[in-house]
């Protein structure tokens, strides 16, 4: 894939496996660059992704757990994985996700937490550019990948520690409705970007 001017896109990848202590400084250094025309990517699951790709997987969807640094309560520790699990089950049953054009079954990739091979990324056209409050980009990318490959899997050893900020700010009901085709939409876009 290339940028509109024909130059290849630049990604700054920061492997972060067991690097919690130094990650802040790394991200600050990236933000302080004079040339900021790049996309930063922080990954902490390289070995697990490599194993998935070695098995022939082209899209590996990660498992979501609450971030430990946000001190999740006991209900939150179990609520987020349960909600993601229920949503995944619904997604597999949903008619739109079972369309004949798909070569692989639906696998939930909560919060865009998936790994694609570069070859599949190019074949399916990559991630769409859409505002966060627009259609779910993670589902769109997964679906485009499923149109081009039957090798999609849920990789249980690839774990993302997801933020609880939106769940805490909006509550479980609104968060679920947001994830369900944006059936809940906050009044303004500033509320979408929960910080």
Per residue, the 3-state secondary structure of 40-103, as one string, reads: EEEECCHHHHHHHHHCCCCEEEEEEEECHHHCCCHHHHHHHHHHHHHHHHHHHHCHHHHCCCCC
Range of the domain at 30: 1-44
Q: What is the pLDDT of residues 155-191, one digit of tens each?
A: 888 887 778 888 888 888 888 888 777 888 888 777 7
Is 157 in the same domain as 108?
A: yes
Is 62 in the same domain as 145?
A: yes
Is 84 in the same domain as 167?
A: yes
Is 99 in the same domain as 148?
A: yes
Is 105 in the same domain as 28?
A: no
Q: What is the pTM of this model?
A: 0.69
DSSP state of 6: S
Is 16 in the same domain as 63?
A: no
Structural domains in the chain (count):
2
User: Model confidence at 37, in pLDDT bands (50, 70, 90)?
Assistant: confident
Separation CA 17–CA 113 (nearest Å): 16
Is 23 in the same domain as 119?
A: no
């Amino acid at each position: 894939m290339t940028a509109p001017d024909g130059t290849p896109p630049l990604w700054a990848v920061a492997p972060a496996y067991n690097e919690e202590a130094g990650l802040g400084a790394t991200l600050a250094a990236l933000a302080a660059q004079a040339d900021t025309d790049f996309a930063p990517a922080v990954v902490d699951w390289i070995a697990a992704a490599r194993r998935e790709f070695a098995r022939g997987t082209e899209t590996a969807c990660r498992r979501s757990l609450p971030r430990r640094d946000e001190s999740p309560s006991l209900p939150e520790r179990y609520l987020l994985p349960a909600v993601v699990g229920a949503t995944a089950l619904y997604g597999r049953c949903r008619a739109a996700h079972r369309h004949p054009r798909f070569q692989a079954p639906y696998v939930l990739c909560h919060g865009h937490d998936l790994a694609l091979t570069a070859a599949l990324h190019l074949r399916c056209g990559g991630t769409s550019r859409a505002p966060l409050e627009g259609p779910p980009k993670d589902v769109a990318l997964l679906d485009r990948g499923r149109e081009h490959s039957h090798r999609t899997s849920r990789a249980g050893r690839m774990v993302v520690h997801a933020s609880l900020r939106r769940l805490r700010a909006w509550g479980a009901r609104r968060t679920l409705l947001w994830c369900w085709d944006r059936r809940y939409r906050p009044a303004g876009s500033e509320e979408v970007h929960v910080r």
